[in-house]
Copies of this chain bind each other. A is one copy, B any other.
Amino acid sequence: MRALLDHEARAMLGALNFGRLGCVDHGEPYVVPINYVFDDESIYSHSLPGRKIDAMRAHPRACLQVDKIENDLEWRSVIAYGNFEEIRGPGDRRSILGKLLARFPLLTPVESAMVRDAAAPDSIVFRIIVDRITGVEEE
C-alpha cells in the first residue's frame, strides 16, 4: 500500500464524478452517495433540503471519499476534506447547476427545471472548499 502523490489524488478526484460525502450530525458520522464536480479548488454539488444539509450547516467540516476498486488487492481511495459553503447568488447557482447538468445528463426533470430557474428555493447548491487531499492505493 502506498500513499498517492498530491497530483495523482487530485487527478482521480477530477476524473470521477461520484463519491461518498461524509459529514457529522450531532457527533454521529453520516455518509451519503453524491454526484459532484471538482474544479481543483472546490467540490460542487446540490441537494434538496435534508439531513446532510442540516448537518453541514451546523458542522461545516465535511469530506468526500472516492475510490476505484478492481478487487480486494487492487484499489485506490482518495479523500478530500474541507468546509461546507452554500452558494446563494442566483448567477452562481445557475452557473454551477449548469455544470452539474452538463456532467449528469440523467438529472431528473425537477432538477433540470432548477437549472432553468436557479432561484427555485428548494434546491441547495453548495461547495466543499477543499483544504486537504489524501489518497492510498494497493496494486
| Contact surface of A with B, Cβ cutoff 8 Å | 18, 20, 22-24, 27-33, 35, 59, 61-63, 65, 67, 69, 71-73, 75, 77, 79, 81, 104, 106-108
Contacts and interface: CB of A to CB of B under 8 A. Distances in A.
A18 B104 CA distance: 26
A23 B79 CA distance: 13
A46 B129 CA distance: 32
11 contacts: A22-B29, A22-B31, A24-B24, A24-B28, A28-B81, A29-B31, A29-B62, A29-B63, A30-B79, A32-B77, A33-B65
Copies of this protein chain in the complex: 2
Nearest to A134: B51
A33 B67 contact: yes
B79 A35 contact: no
Contacts of A30: 22, 29, 63, 79
Contact of A104 (B63, B67, B72): B72
B108 A73 contact: yes
